[in-house]
Amino acid sequence: MGKARKALLGKIALLVNILIGAVIAVDFWWNRAAQDSQLSISVLVLCSAYITIEFLRKSFLTPSRWWNTLYYLGLFAVLLPLLFKDVSWEEERLLMSRLGVFFLIIPPLLSLWAAIKDKEE
């Protein structure tokens, strides 16, 4: 695969991950996914797509950076309502999952910033 094609695929994968992370975050903030202690099938499919794209990006497209591992915190935040649905600290769990899903958006945004910075140099 040519260098230009690899760079284009990396950018497309990056933008798709930003979009998927944003959709999951919106679902957690406005559609009460975190409050219901149940995840919809669409959120699970989006998480699976996010993991697959992130794996392919790390393996084939772009070099791994230190912030690429932050998305594990976001995935944990998605699972938090399922893991701790019968606990007495409901509001704290809800806050942790709502804030934690932003860790799905942070790594692709930092990678996009690094790509723009590298291109300027």
- C-alpha–C-alpha distance, residues 59 and 76, integer Å: 22
Domain total for the chain? 1
Model pLDDT for residues 21-75, shown as the tens digit of each residue? 999 888 877 766 555 666 778 888 998 999 999 888 888 777 778 888 888 888 8
pLDDT of residue 71: 87
For the chain, the helix, strand and coil percentages under 3-state DSSP, each to the nearest 5: 80, 0, 20
Higher pLDDT, 44 or 82: 44
Mean pLDDT of 104-116: 88
Q: Which domain holds residue 98?
A: 3-120
- C-alpha–C-alpha distance, residues 79 and 66, integer Å: 23
Higher pLDDT, 17 or 40: 17
pLDDT of residue 49: 93
- C-alpha–C-alpha distance, residues 109 and 70, integer Å: 12
- C-alpha–C-alpha distance, residues 41 and 59, integer Å: 27
Within 13 Å, how many C-alpha atoms sit on residue 21's CB side?
27
- C-alpha–C-alpha distance, residues 74 and 107, integer Å: 10
